[in-house]
């Protein structure tokens, strides 16, 4: 038997699985080969050292706990952010509406100049922040007053819209249309959006 054939048998012998004819052949080879005998003694020492090492007892629960502690913390995702990621189109629309509402609200807070609009303003008299329709005078068409007071003593053949102001009708006043008072930001926003939609439809 050659040394290269004896080496696997030596490992098998150390594992305790060598028997019969192969064990006899290995014994004869070891008696005749000092190199393989030295190799066997060296491997036996290594195995004895390994067997003498104390085995560390590791509880499975402790191991699981240590592994879980070493993992990075899981980042919690808010339901709102999950909804934004799953509905991008609706998110963009919502942001657009919020921006538009913010700009309208800023205009609502900043705009304090008296504005008077109508198709017939020849009979209208303005004193400071008061818009007056005198007795015996007639406004033919709609009249809008913003950031001011409207005093109607005469006639208005149309609708009245007062934004962020007040309207006072004398006993001599005659209004053929509707009177709309807008003194809240959301009502003003709704009015502006309707006004914008009307202008777009008229321009087509």
Structure tokens at 54: 């104390």
Region of residue 157 (left: phi > 0; alpha: psi -120 to 50; beta: else): beta
Q: What angle do CA 48, 53, 54 make, to 5 degrees?
A: 140
Q: What is the pLDDT of residue 173?
A: 92
Q: What is the pLDDT of residue 140?
A: 92
Query: Taking a C-beta distance cutoff of 8 angstroms, is the pair 163, 195 a contact?
Result: no
**What would the 3-class secondary structure string for the chain be?**
CCHHHHHHHHHHHHCCCCCHHHHHHHHHHHHHCHHHHHHHHHHHHHHHHHHHCCCCCCCHHHHHHHHHHHCCCCCCCCHHHHHHHHCHHHHHHHHHHHHHHHHHHHHHHHCCCCEEEECCCCCCEEECCEEEECCCCEEECCEEEECCEEEECCEEECCEEEECCEEEECCCCEECCCEEEECCHHHHHHHHHHHHHHHHHHHC
Q: What is the pLDDT of residue 58?
A: 47
Q: What is the model's pTM?
A: 0.40
Q: What is the pLDDT of residue 202?
A: 66
What are the residue boundaries of the structural domains of the chain, listed by start?
3-52, 112-203
Tens-digit pLDDT profile for the chain (204 aa)? 788 888 888 888 877 777 888 888 888 888 888 888 888 888 888 877 777 766 555 445 566 677 777 777 766 656 766 666 777 777 677 777 777 666 665 655 555 788 899 988 998 999 988 999 999 999 999 999 988 999 999 999 999 999 888 999 999 999 999 998 877 555 556 666 667 667 666 665
């Amino acid at each position: 038997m050659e040394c290269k054939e004896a080496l696997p048998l030596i490992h098998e012998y150390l594992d305790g699985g060598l028997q019969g004819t192969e064990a006899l052949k290995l014994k004869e080879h070891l008696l005749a080969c000092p190199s393989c005998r030295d190799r066997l003694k060296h491997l036996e020492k290594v195995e004895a050292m390994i067997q003498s090492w104390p085995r560390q007892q590791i509880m499975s629960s402790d191991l699981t706990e240590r592994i879980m502690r070493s993992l990075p913390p899981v980042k919690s995702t808010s339901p709102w952010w999950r909804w934004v990621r799953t509905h991008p189109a609706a998110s963009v629309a919502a942001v657009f509406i919020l921006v538009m509402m913010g700009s309208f609200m800023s205009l609502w807070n900043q705009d304090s100049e008296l504005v008077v609009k109508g198709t017939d303003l020849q009979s209208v008299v303005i004193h400071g922040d008061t818009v007056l329709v005198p007795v015996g005078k007639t406004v033919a068409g709609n009249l809008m007053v913003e950031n001011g007071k409207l005093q109607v003593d005469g006639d208005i053949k149309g609708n009245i819209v007062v934004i962020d102001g007040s309207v006072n009708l004398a006993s001599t006043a005659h209004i053929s249309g509707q009177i709309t008072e807008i003194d809240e930001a959301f009502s003003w926003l709704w009015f502006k959006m309707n006004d914008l939609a009307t202008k777009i439809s008229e321009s087509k």
